[in-house]
Amino acid sequence: MISTHGLALKVGARTLVEHLDWRVGAGECWCVIGRNGAGKSTLLRTLAGLRQPEAGSVSLGGRALADWPLEELARHRAYLPQSRSDAFSYRVLETVLAARHPYHAQRYWENSDDHAIALAALASMEVAQLAQRDVRSLSGGERQRVAIAAMLAQDTPLLLLDEPANALDLAHQVSMMRLMATLCREQGKTAVTIGHDLNLAQQACSHALLLMGDGSWEAGPIDQVMTAPALSRYLGHPIEIVQHGQRRIFVPVQPDR
């Protein structure tokens, strides 16, 4: 679905990622894990085509990302940024319908199918009752769920989500990650998410990419990559794994007092 080839990412003189040769297959759900400033958001913006890498390249569907016309690219990948600003008083439904524009060429209105898709996306995030509300009147968690609904309404095979659990309460964090896993497993969509909850990531994702922030990285299936030694090293804090039935629970080790 999407791959990187010798990818290098830098901020100023600092190297975040180096020699990243990474392949994300169709139907896979990846989590990107690392400390603050490790380059997670920079990587996701690069995958979305919103910034150029310092070296290497990104391919989507076997085609260089730079060769994709923007309108076509918008029909193949959707990107959820970490934060957003609502400058205008749009209704929630209008906000989600805006995600349907890549399917209408030079037209700037939506048909009944678009409305049905938008309402279904809102329902999937449990915010259909807010459809006529002003987006600026929503709570942070409600606004985040509307943003995820808009991404779903864009209906692309690749989903790029930067900290989608931001501002969500526990129940909606779990349901949102379960929805991503279901879309990958049952509809063949591909998701790359950034998050800090190791337990949520393990439950929902099939693969993980660990970023150190000094150029080094590690990628592979969850069970192989999300080990206590690797997570402790990449997160800069000792992690232990507790087995609870069939589940593994990641617990930060408390320092001795």
How would residue 244 be classed by pLDDT, with cut points 50, 70 and 90?
confident
DSSP string, 62-90: TEEGGGS-HHHHHTTEEEE-S-----S--
Using alpha carbons, list the distances in angstroms from residue 106 to 56, 63, 93, 96, 114: 34, 25, 21, 19, 16
- The answer to whether residue 107 scores a pLDDT higher than 70 is no
- The answer to whether residue 231 scores a pLDDT higher than 70 is yes
Strand-pair category, 63-64 with 207-211:
unpaired
How would residue 32 be classed by pLDDT, with cut points 50, 70 and 90?
very high
Q: What is the pLDDT of residues 162-191, one digit of tens each?
A: 999 988 999 999 999 999 999 999 999 999
Q: For the domain with range 1-76+157-218, which CATH number is right: 3.40.190.10, 3.90.180.10, 1.10.10.60, 3.40.50.300?
A: 3.40.50.300
Domain boundaries, the chain: 1-76+157-218, 86-155
Helix (H) / strand (E) element for 158: namely strand 158-162
pLDDT number for residue 206: 95
Q: What is the pLDDT of residues 67-100, one digit of tens each?
A: 999 989 999 999 999 888 888 888 999 999 999 9
